[in-house]
Chain A
Amino acid sequence: MKKEIQTANSSLAVDKVSLSFGKILVINNVSFQVYEGEILSIIGPNGAGKTSLLNCLSGFYQPDSGRITYKGQEITKIPIHRRASLGIGRTFQGLQLFPGMTVINNIMSGRHILMKTNFLQAFLHWPWVHREEIAHREVVEEIIDFLEMEAIRHELVGNLGYGLRKRVDLARALALEPKILIMDEPMAGMNMEEKEDMARFIIDIEEFKSIPIILVEHDMEVVMDISNRIMVLDWGNVIAEGKPEEIRTNPAVIKAYLGDADEEVNHY
């Protein structure tokens, strides 16, 4: 069922990246590759450093050491806003939308780098700005169709329910026509049905757009189901990496998760 991934085609390479906040080492010497056409899941207990790692890829955190290479180009230090035009799309843990804007405008803002209007042209609007708006609106409508959001396109995002907001988040990331998609817990807090929809969307994106996806997710069932490869983080260390069936039976992984469960038991 799952296709074999060509390990020759690396999209993104993380090489010995470490990150600390003050004295706390959050990511410890982490290296991994993302190959074209795969869904790589990163899992690990709460506080393992998954989001921090993604933030290094987005440029929001600067690693203390190590290199991040994307399509052969080192991107470790380039400014955050320039990474969008390289084709790095990202969705966020929790709700990180533009709540005061409509669904359409949220998604259109994902096309910022693909559009050209400057503020003087924006003042006048006609005719070329208008044409540009329409052309990009058509692409956005395709995304709206794809994610089945036709009914809410004019709603203010702040008025939507949680599941739909996460869908807007994905739509906005897709709008910038990413060449790699980074998703941080797209299904957290969703009900069964919403999760199934989201899983279907993720599989479709990988299949039809054939872009690699880095997925951070806590729902093991989904992760085991849709990933080509899984990497496990614990206290900032990579403790395992491999196919879903290998990870399921990996003793170190089981220990990390059980250890976490123990802690939770102690807490309550």
Chain B
Amino acid sequence: MAVLPCGVHSANYSQDKAFIRTPVQWVCFIAFLLIVFAGPFFFPSRMLGIIIITGITIIAVVGLQITVGLTGQINLGQSAFMGMGAFTTATLAANFNLPFWLSIPAGGIGGALLGAIFGIPALRVKGFYLALTSLAAQILFPLLITRMPSKWFGGPNGLGLAPAKIGGFTLQSDQSLYYLIMGVTVIMLFFAFNLTRSRVGRALMAVRDNDIVAEIMGVNLFTYKTLAFAIGSLYAGIAGGLWAYYLRYVMAEQFNLWSSVWYLGMIIVGGVGSILGAILGTVFLRALQELITIAGPWFGQVFPQAGGEALWYSGMNIVLGGVIILFLIFEPKGLAHRWNVLKHSFRIWPYPYL
């Protein structure tokens, strides 16, 4: 926030804490919203699908950022918490006919509860051991879901659900789901940005930076560490609920350890601790993934001797993993930091040493 175009100063504290402060920033912001809104009119349907999945992923990754980046509590189970949300939403929709505007928030609460339970050990354990605890959540999740009575979560076969309905209108097309999911994404981002500039956000960051001192400042560590997991997995749960309505079929395998690790990778690439970073990291890695997917078949045709599709997919993981490692080595502060540096040099141009 400190980096602003030359000559922009705050005349009062309201301005000082606002996110959008210059007319140019307002124009960019509104233009962005308009593009998002007009998207379905000019994006091809494949592109819409990619954006929808990216939006869902952004919600889950922003939640993970709140737990890991903002509060410093490692979490290897974000995908399981997302699954918990997806199954909660699915079962409420399929078995209880709950409308989507109730079943998705309920999915969020389902995720938050599971996350909070696995977050409780954070009061006593840190780092590696906390990673193991959340890993346990990730491993236990599919066992738990598939062993439940198949009426609840569909057992090993998973659970299908009817499309979301609002009034007489069915949200079945990619276009209509796009609006639902983008709308929820924007709202969840709005919440996350607000959180970072609030009393609660500061307490979470204080816990991350120095939990003993935070406690002496009056922060209840149990409450706030558990809250960090609860909020993070609330986001995961909402993402899961949207996922359920988008695919209209949920299975435990969809929420595996791989995804959890990818989400962490997105945070690393974007910049640990920054909400903007979570967005940038998700978009960047997803775009790269799509690029490789498109380039893959072409690559296979040009070099058939290099092996089939299977090789290609393992190759993709190597490339993406390599990108994450490169970021860890060369830009540990992530894309959000790059973006700030860029803004800064733009601001002080043409005096590079200001």
A residues sitting closer than 8 Å to B (CB atoms) are 58, 60, 79-85, 90, 92, 96-102, 105, 108-113, 115-119, 121-125, 129-130, 132-134, 137-138, 141, 154-155, 172, 176
Contact with A along B160-191 (1 / 0, CB 8 A): 00000000000000000000000000000001
Evaluate contact between A134 and B210: CB separation under 8 angstroms.
no
Measured between C-beta atoms, what is the minimum distance from B185 to chain A in Å? Answer: 15
Is the pair A84, B218 in contact by a Cβ cutoff of 8 Å? yes
The answer to whether A81 and B202 touch across the interface, beta carbons within 8 angstroms, is: no
Q: List 12 A-B contacts (CB under 8 A).
A: A83-B218, A98-B208, A117-B200, A119-B231, A123-B191, A123-B194, A125-B194, A125-B198, A133-B197, A133-B198, A134-B14, A176-B218
B200 touches A133 (CB 8 A): no
**Residue in contact with A98 in the complex, picked from B17, B191, B194, B210, CB distance below 8 Å:** B210
Chain B positions within 8 Å of A101 at CB level: 202, 205-206, 209
Q: A105-B202, A119-B200 are known contacts. Are A96 and B210 too (CB-CB below 8 A)?
A: yes
Q: Report yes or no: B195 in contact with A115, Cβ–Cβ below 8 A.
A: no
Contacting pair A122 B199 (CB below 8 A):
yes
Docked complex Cα distance between A220 and B133 (Å)? 50
Contacts of A176 in B (CB 8 A): 217-218
- Minimum Cβ distance to chain A for residue B1 (Å): 7
Contact (Cβ within 8 A) A122 B195: yes
Given contacts A60-B212, A98-B205, A101-B205, contact A122 B198 (CB under 8 A): yes
* Shortest beta-carbon distance from A90 to chain B in Å: 6
Contacting residues of chain B (268-327) with chain A, CB-CB under 8 angstroms: 273
- Contacting residues, chain A, for B209 (C-beta < 8 A): 97-101
**Total contacts A-B at CB 8 Å:** 113
Interface size on B, residues (CB 8 A): 34
- In angstroms, Cα B214 to Cα A112, docked, is 9
Q: Which of A85, A101, A132 has the most CB of B within 10 A?
A: A101
Q: With a CB–CB cut-off of 8 A, which chain A residues contact B215?
A: 80-81
Interchain CA distance A83-B216 in the complex, whole Å? 7
Among the interface residues A79, A108, A115, A125, which one has the most CB atoms of the partner chain B within 10 A?
Answer: A125
Q: Which residues of A contact B86 (CB under 8 A)?
A: none
**Nearest chain B CB to A175 CB, angstrom units:** 9
Contact B194 A81 (CB under 8 A): no
Chain B residues touching A, majority SS? helix
Kindly list chain A residues whose C-beta atoms are within 8 Å of the C-beta of B273.
Answer: 100
Q: What residues of B have a CB within 8 angstroms of the CB of A125 in the complex?
A: 194, 197-198
A136 to B24, CA, bound (A): 30
Chain B neighbourhood of A83, CB < 8 A: 216, 218
Which of B31-39, B49-57, B219-227, B236-244 is the contact stretch?
B219-227
Residue among A58, A109, A118, A172 having the largest count of chain B Cβ atoms under 10 Å = A109
Instruction: List A contacts of B197 (CB < 8 A).
Output: 125, 133
B42 CB–A CB distance under 8 Å: no
Query: Across the interface, do B200 and A109 meet the contact criterion of CB distance under 8 Å?
Result: no
Q: A102-B2, A138-B13, A154-B1 are in contact. List 20 more A-B contacts (CB 8 A).
A: A60-B212, A81-B218, A81-B219, A84-B218, A85-B218, A97-B210, A99-B209, A109-B203, A109-B217, A112-B202, A112-B203, A112-B206, A113-B218, A118-B200, A119-B200, A119-B231, A123-B194, A133-B199, A176-B217, A176-B218
Chain A positions within 8 Å of B199 at CB level:
108, 111-112, 115-117, 122, 132-133
Closest residue of chain A to B72 (Cβ to Cβ) is A100
Question: Contact between B220 and A81 (Cβ–Cβ < 8 Å)?
Answer: yes
Considering only CB atoms, which chain B residue lies closest to A118 in the complex? Answer: B200
Question: B116: shortest Cβ distance to chain A, in Å?
Answer: 12
Is B201 an interface position by the 8 A CB rule?
A: yes
| CB atoms of B217 and A84 under 8 A apart | yes
Q: Are B216 and A84 in contact (CB under 8 A)?
A: yes
B213 within 8 A of A: yes
Name the distance in Å between A118's Cβ and chain B's nearest Cβ: 7
In the complex, which residue of chain B has the Cβ closest to the Cβ of A130?
A: B14
Among A80, A83, A129, A172: residue with most chain B CB under 10 A? A80
Closest 9 CB pairs of A and B: A84-B218, A122-B198, A98-B209, A113-B218, A123-B191, A125-B194, A154-B2, A122-B200, A117-B199
